[in-house]
Amino acid sequence: MLKGFGTFLLKELKELMRDPKILLPMIVVPLVMFPVLGGVMGYAMQAAQEQAIKAALVVVNNDCGNWSNTFINFLQGLSAMGFNLMIYTESNIKPLTSEKVLELLSKYNTTQILEIPDGFSQNITIHFNNPNVRAYVRLYSVLRGTSVFENIGSSAVDALIGMFNRQHAPDILYSEKATVIKGEVKYGVDPMAVSGLLMYQSIVLPMMVLLLISYAPQIAAASMAVEKEEKTLETLLTLPIDRLAILWGKLLSSIIVAAIGAVVYTAGYSYTLGSVMAGTPARLNVDLAALGLVPSTLGYLLLGLSLFVTIVSVLALSVILAAFAEDVRGAQALVGNIYPMIFLPSIALIYLDINTLPLAFKLVLFAIPFSHPMIASKAIIVGDLWTVTLGIIYVSAFTLVVMYAASKLFATEKILTAKIKFKGLKKRKGVSAEES
Amino acid sequence: MEASNVVKVFGSVHALDGLSFKVKPGEIYGLIGPNGAGKTTALRVVSTLLLPTAGTVKVFGLDVVEKAAEVRRIISYLPEEAGAYRYLSGWEYLEFMAKFSAKSKDEVRAMVAEAAEICGLGERLKDKTKTYSKGMKRRLLVARALMAKPKLAILDEPTSGLDVIHSYHVREIIKKYVREHGVTVLLSSHNMLEVEHLCDRVALINKGRLVAEGSPQELKEKYGCSNLEEVFAKVVKIA
């Protein structure tokens, strides 16, 4: 073993574990963060399940034969068995046009319609002699947000069809899919496939955003703190250079370096995710652009703007915090305290659709400036540019306040003399030392 | 340069307590005093880093509070514990600094060439500053402070960390600069030999106040001492 290694290791551990600047983000923050995150995930799953179970299913019987009645009885029997499924039936709406579908969705305030087409009973009867002939039902599902649990509703109906098949004969019945997107019925489009692709899209983009927002503060904080640690700040502040130029230089260089890092990471992430999902889009033959589910140019521009103002605010906040630290380690620990505000809403928004959240939860997410690029990255996919624009206005106002504070700090001697002292902890430590 | 009744308070500590002194153009003026006397605070106020709590400081007629940006154009400050950017080479560091004072690329080149001569680091200027010894770094920083030929050079312990040979070299450079370029120098030092050798006049400060002032010769005669070290000990004891 290396000579003196044990002694040195002990010293290092003592120094690290006694430093409140490290303790706070390393131990206290995760203790709060993970239970909150667990709660958010649990809520998301529960909400999606409840919605799927409680959702009313409108069955349109255009067959009115023996087997269609058997199928409807089977569905109604399920609710008698304890499945919390509301079944409404309508008969003979022929043809079931897009307009009629939308009308029924609105009338029953539901997201799922099951059409039993003409010839359903006949096909099932033939199936017992010729298994090649199968009956089908058409499921119309409404695609709303971009939550991970979005497709639970349609998969629940698929599960019911599976149960019906098990009762009578395997493969007797299958479902054809139609998806209602932005008030238009798209035939042959599986909501699960669309949802999966949207997830892919709505994860890659937010992940890049998240990476950028989480990289930049560390870089900005380090670049500020290293000036103090390496004793270059004093010289810098006496040079004929505008103090705001120093601030902006640090902010911009951090953005550039963080952006490079984000691009590299996202390329890697995207490649990995692409490999995992290889074949899926081609097999399902879903063209998101044709379905109007690809962000518009304006959408991308707004996302860029949202990202820019948010990053400037995060960076300015980091530089302010770093100015209060004496060295790089202290600065990074101080900046670590803003991470829960970046990660919690970001991770929550990957799993949740903000539109389905309770008002209080929604307000909290909107109030955290760092959650807006994530909200924007999902909102532009469904074309909700108003939410993005309002977010940009809100974050810009927040950024202006932070920039004002940062420029004030840079204009005074505080930039040189400011220090955060952990008085409370020191005091308590002193008392316990005296007591012992 | 003129400081009048300068007070600087940090919380309950009076770092400067009515300090006044004048530095004539082209003069090398030294501030000496024990640790905590307020030398560095005084230099930081003159160099626009700290705001005086009370009193005024003027550099060539410019108030350091009201005309801070203009003052920064004519001064050059070398802090006692200054560092250089670790991942820049010596050349890059000098070039970076020169760009703030120079008006053209030629001027930048001239300044860097001047600084290279002052520091005498030769080929090592191509290496990153993180590879430099403490002495090499200090020579680089002294050269940086002088290369722009400021009207007032404020040097906090200019030979701090340098060995005898390099200290001598730096002192000669400072003297030469004052002679050739009419640079005014305000410096602080613990090294009495350095002060005696370099300064035209010195101010002894203690507890943020000026307790004695004059040329090294005048002070030695006034206090009946053979060198400044004895004067220093005597004055501080009396104060």
Q: Kindly tell me if the per-residue pLDDT of A392 is higher than 60.
A: yes
Contact (CB<8Å) A238/B69: no
pTM equals 0.69
The pLDDT of residue B66 is: 92
- CB A239 to CB B100 under 8 A? yes
- Closest chain B residue to A230, measured at CA: B83
Domain boundary among A135, A169, A189: A189
Best of A219, A224, A235, A328 to disrupt the B interface (most B CBs within 10 Å) is A235
The CATH architecture one would assign to domain B2-82+150-238 is: 3-Layer(aba) Sandwich (3.40)
pLDDT at B86: 85
Domain edge (last residue) among A155, A189, A223: A189
Provide mean pLDDT across the span B99-127.
90
Domain closes at, from A173, A189, A205: A189
Identify whether residues A137 and A116 lie together within a single domain.
yes
Say yes or no: A412 contacts chain B, CB-CB below 8 A: yes
Which candidate from A235, A241, A242 shows the least CB-CB separation from B79?
A235
Residues 6+ apart with CB under 8 A from B199: B28, B29, B30, B187, B215, B216
Minimum distance, in Å, between the CA of residue A414 and any CA atom of chain B? 9
Report which secondary-structure segment, H or E, holds B201. Answer: strand B201-206
Task: Please report residues of A whose CB lies closer than 8 A to that of B85.
Answer: 230, 232
- Shortest distance between the Cα of B237 and any Cα of chain A, in A, equals 31
Do A295 and A211 lie in a common domain? yes
Q: Which residue has the tokens 């040329």?
A: B215
> Do A170 and A127 share a structural domain?
yes
Residues of B in contact with A412 (CB under 8 A): 51
Closest-CA residue of A relative to B93 is A232
A12 falls within a domain: no
Q: What is the mean pLDDT of residues B118-146?
A: 90
Answer yes or no: is A11 within a domain. Answer: no
CB atoms within 10 A of CB A404: 11
> Per mean pLDDT, which of A217-221, A294-298, A371-375 is the most reliable?
A371-375
Alpha-carbon distance values, A419 to A261, A415, A425, B156 (Å): 30, 9, 15, 23
Note the pLDDT tens digit of each residue in A305-353: 888 888 888 888 888 888 888 888 888 888 888 888 888 887 777 777 7
- pLDDT value of position A78: 75
Residue A247 lies in a domain: yes
Q: Are A241 and A303 part of one and the same domain? A: yes
* Structural domain contains residue A13: no
Per-residue pLDDT, B186? 95
Distance from CA of B219 to the nearest CA of A (A): 33
Question: If pLDDT is split at 50, 70 and 90, which confidence band does B228 have?
Answer: confident
The pLDDT assigned to A411 comes to 81
User: Do residues A42 and A60 share a domain?
Assistant: no
Chain A neighbors of B50, CB-CB under 8 A: 413, 416-417
Residues A236 and A131 both lie in one domain: no
Residue A231 belongs to domain spanning: 20-47+196-429
3-state secondary structure of B26: coil
Mean pLDDT, rounded, of chain A: 76
In this structure, the answer to whether residues A64 and A146 fall within a common structural domain is yes
- Let me know: does A309 contact A392? Beta carbons within 8 Å: yes
- For residue B79, the chain A residues in CB contact (below 8 A) are 231, 234-235
Q: A277 and A416 in one domain?
A: yes
Do A235 and A351 reside in the same domain of the chain? yes
Chain A residue numbers with beta carbons less than 8 Å from the beta carbon of B100 are 239-241
Give the total number of structural domains in chain A: 2
Taking only residues 149 to 208 of chain A, the set having a beta carbon closer than 8 angstroms to any beta carbon of chain B reads none
Kindly state whether residue A106 falls inside one of the protein's structural domains: yes
Determine the distance from the C-alpha atom of residue B100 to the mean position of all C-alpha atoms in its chain, rounded to a whole number: 19
**B134 interaction partners in chain A (CB closer than 8 Å):** none
Is residue A230 within 8 angstroms of chain B, CB to CB? yes
Whether residue A15 lies inside any domain: the answer is: no
Inform me whether the pLDDT recorded for B123 exceeds 80. Answer: yes
Instruction: Please tell me the distance in Å from A258's CA to the nearest CA on chain B.
Output: 19
Is the model's pLDDT at A277 over the cut of 60?
no
Q: Indicate whether A84 belongs to any domain.
A: yes
Residue A78 belongs to a domain with what CATH number?
3.40.1710.10
Residue A62 lies inside a defined structural domain of this protein: yes
- Check residue A428 and give its pLDDT: 41
ipTM of the prediction: 0.92
Q: Are residues A296 and A394 in the same domain?
A: yes
**Residue contact B49–A231, C-beta within 8 A:** no
Q: What does the pLDDT read at residue A350?
A: 73
Do A251 and A375 reside in the same domain of the chain?
yes
The answer on A297 and A214 residing in a single domain is yes
Contact B28, B174 (CB under 8 A): yes
Q: How many CB atoms lie within 10 A of CB A32?
A: 11
- Phi and psi, residue A87, nearest 5°: -110, 125
